[in-house]
Chains A and B, each alone.
Chain A
Amino acid sequence: MLRLTNVSAGYGQIQVVRDVSLDVGEQEIVCLIGSNGAGKTTLLRAISGIAPFCVGTIEFNGEDLSDLPGHEIVTRGIAHVPEGRRLFRTMSIRDNLLMGAFRRRSASEIKHNLDRVYHLFPRLAERRDQAAGTLSGGEQQMCAIGRGLMSEPKLILIDELSLGLAPQVVDNLAKTLLHIRDLGISILLVEQDVEIAFELASRGFLLDSGQITVVGTTAELAENPQIKLAYIGA
């Protein structure tokens, strides 16, 4: 459903990602792992059309997204949960979620999606009028994922699910992601915590200094010596 072919992206003169090809299938969780500064975030930004510079083809359900401006990507069915959550801090949870549905016009559909998010994260329903900036890290991540779901995407890009969160919180979020996949939504997960990533995803890509060096099912990746050495520490 999502297919990147020879994508290079970066900022101005600096090319962060080189010749990356990867794909995500229907109703699949795919993880993108790699160390700090490997270019994971840049790659997601390239898919969402907000990387300052990007060449190569990004195809989604048969449509070439490479030349679309950033604000049109979400209308094609791709939601992006950015690194560090990036909530609208002064706005309430409810308004943040409604911003997720900014490009959806049907009020009944928005209401339906809002209920779906509240059902998925009852915590958000309890605190719907609270300013997003006052939430705990876990709640903020829930809100960010919920905001992504509000656009009724076919694919969600999640950048650093576990960043700065307690293990128990991450476990809960991970369960919810499986649930979201079962709703028919694919997930491209960028994750530092390889253990969590492998638990959730069926396939994975290792991004090393801007290039994909290892590809495979997560079971294969877990046995890969390079990954074992660098990321699992065994």
Chain B
Amino acid sequence: MAEPSDGLRPRFLLWLSVRFMTLLLQNLVNGLLLGGLYVCIAIGFSLIWGVLNIINLLHGSIIVLGSYIAYYAFTMFGISPFLAPLFVIPMMFAFGYGLQLAVLNRVVDKPVLITLTLTFGLDLILNNFMLAAFTANFRRVVFKDPFETLDLYGVIIPVDRVVAMALALVLTLAFYLLLNSSRIGRAIVAVRNDRDAAVLMGVNVKQIYAVTFGVGAAFAGAAGCLLSVVFPISPMSSGLYLGKAFVICVLGGLGSIGGALIGGLALGVIESMGVMLAGPEHSVLTGFLVLLAVLAIKPTGLAGKRGYE
């Protein structure tokens, strides 16, 4: 006959380890749900960097603009932010296409510092325009009938985030198909591979640049729509999103969809684990620490290779 204290300890340990596993699983789920959105944040940024060799500092503000459009479409017309990409994508494409054609194409061949400065300036303009138009107050999409949360053996799964992540992955798939199975996508990849040879094939490179920037902006806007249901909306968030896009691209390896996918999901999980182990205030820090480690050990990123595949 065992004494009561001996029976209690194993049971306590079992309880503790189940609790721990549940917590771990919960954070993994949180991380993946977040990561799906991060993938969507990064693909457009990665495309523009890879094809145009422009580090688009405007990216974060375009995401926020997408969020605002989704927010106002929701509050004024009652359109669900999940449907907002349907009109935000064409709007942001037109914006990006026009911007590249009218402004960025003038300096696209110049050293990277010039394009960096230009997109920095454009970002200041767009961001301050949003501050003036929408104020710095945080906005939030609040559904009348909130989405449910599922409880799977103690792991809480918020349905709105699952929908957002699923849509983000659908967008990523659409992005993949656009680049790999469409005529215009082939031209984008061809220009990235060899610009002169692409000209010989009859590709108008300046136009493809504009299309590329337009596609990058369109997906940034779409990411903004999905983010609007998860995060509060403010012009101040643009720097945060831009930083994430940066980390994801470097983490996953620049210039491929696979890289953005791996980088985005990895960052989501890393941040979420950081929350669990070190507390919410350190989530961004963990992301950057892992980034430093990756840069030191495998500078090409986790899936780094040349070209869009």
Residues on A facing B (Cβ under 8 Å): 48, 50, 69-75, 79-80, 82, 86-91, 95, 98-100, 102-103, 147, 151
Residues of chain B within 8 A of A89, CB atoms compared: 193-194, 306-307
* Bound-state Cα–Cα, A79 to B309, Å: 26
Residues of chain B within 8 A of A100, CB atoms compared: 201
CB distance from A58 to the nearest CB of B (A): 15
> Is A74 a contact of B189 with CB atoms below 8 Å?
no
> Is B306 a contact of A90 with CB atoms below 8 Å?
yes
> Is A90 a contact of B307 with CB atoms below 8 Å?
yes
* Bound-state Cα–Cα, A52 to B200, Å: 14
* Bound-state Cα–Cα, A91 to B306, Å: 11
Q: Which 6 A-B pairs have the closest CB atoms?
A: A90-B307, A103-B202, A88-B193, A86-B197, A74-B202, A70-B199
Q: Is B137 an interface residue (CB 8 A)?
A: no
Q: Is B9 an interface residue (CB 8 A)?
A: no
Residues of chain B within 8 A of A91, CB atoms compared: 186, 189-190, 193
Q: Is B205 an interface residue (CB 8 A)?
A: yes
Residues of chain A within 8 A of B183, CB atoms compared: 98, 102
CB-nearest residue of chain B to A150 = B201
* Bound-state Cα–Cα, A50 to B201, Å: 12
CB distance from B18 to the nearest CB of A (A): 47
> Is B190 a contact of A99 with CB atoms below 8 Å?
yes
CB distance from A208 to the nearest CB of B (A): 26
> Is B197 a contact of A88 with CB atoms below 8 Å?
yes
* Bound-state Cα–Cα, A83 to B282, Å: 54
CB-nearest residue of chain A to B185 = A95
Residues of chain A within 8 A of B38, CB atoms compared: none
In the complex, 7 of the A-B residue pairs with CB atoms within 8 angstroms, ordered by the A residue number, are A69-B204, A82-B200, A86-B196, A88-B197, A88-B198, A102-B190, A151-B202
CB distance from B210 to the nearest CB of A (A): 14
Binary CB contact string for chain B from 164 to 190 against chain A (1 if under 8 A, 0 otherwise): 000000000000000000010011011
Residues on B facing A (Cβ under 8 Å): 183, 186-187, 189-190, 193-194, 196-205, 306-309
> Is A71 a contact of B203 with CB atoms below 8 Å?
yes
* Bound-state Cα–Cα, A86 to B309, Å: 18
> Is B189 a contact of A50 with CB atoms below 8 Å?
no
Beyond A75-B202, A86-B197, is A102–B187 a contact (Cβ under 8 Å)?
Answer: yes
* Bound-state Cα–Cα, A69 to B204, Å: 9
Residues of chain A within 8 A of B202, CB atoms compared: 71-75, 102-103, 151
Contact of A88 among B189, B199, B204, B205 (CB under 8 A): B189
> Is A95 a contact of B201 with CB atoms below 8 Å?
no
Residues of chain B within 8 A of A98, CB atoms compared: 183, 186
* Bound-state Cα–Cα, A72 to B190, Å: 17
> Is B189 a contact of A70 with CB atoms below 8 Å?
no
Residues of chain A within 8 A of B193, CB atoms compared: 88-91
Beyond A71-B204, A72-B202, A89-B307, is A99–B186 a contact (Cβ under 8 Å)?
Answer: yes
> Is A102 a contact of B308 with CB atoms below 8 Å?
no
> Is B203 a contact of A102 with CB atoms below 8 Å?
yes
> Is A74 a contact of B201 with CB atoms below 8 Å?
yes
CB distance from A119 to the nearest CB of B (A): 21
CB distance from B247 to the nearest CB of A (A): 24
Beyond A90-B307, A91-B190, A102-B183, is A71–B197 a contact (Cβ under 8 Å)?
Answer: no
Beyond A71-B205, A102-B183, is A88–B200 a contact (Cβ under 8 Å)?
Answer: no
> Is A102 a contact of B197 with CB atoms below 8 Å?
no
* Bound-state Cα–Cα, A103 to B201, Å: 8
> Is A99 a contact of B187 with CB atoms below 8 Å?
yes
Residues of chain A within 8 A of B190, CB atoms compared: 88, 91, 99, 102
Residues of chain B within 8 A of A87, CB atoms compared: 194, 197
* Bound-state Cα–Cα, A50 to B195, Å: 11
* Bound-state Cα–Cα, A72 to B207, Å: 13
Contact of B201 among A69, A90, A99 (CB under 8 A): A99
Given contacts A75-B202, A88-B189, 14 further A-B contacts (CB under 8 A): A48-B200, A50-B196, A70-B199, A71-B204, A71-B205, A73-B200, A74-B200, A74-B202, A82-B200, A86-B196, A86-B200, A87-B197, A103-B201, A103-B202
* Bound-state Cα–Cα, A37 to B282, Å: 60
CB distance from A150 to the nearest CB of B (A): 9
* Bound-state Cα–Cα, A91 to B203, Å: 16
> Is A70 a contact of B307 with CB atoms below 8 Å?
no
> Is B196 a contact of A82 with CB atoms below 8 Å?
yes
* Bound-state Cα–Cα, A79 to B201, Å: 8
- Chain A CB within 10 A, most for which of B186, B193, B202, B203: B202
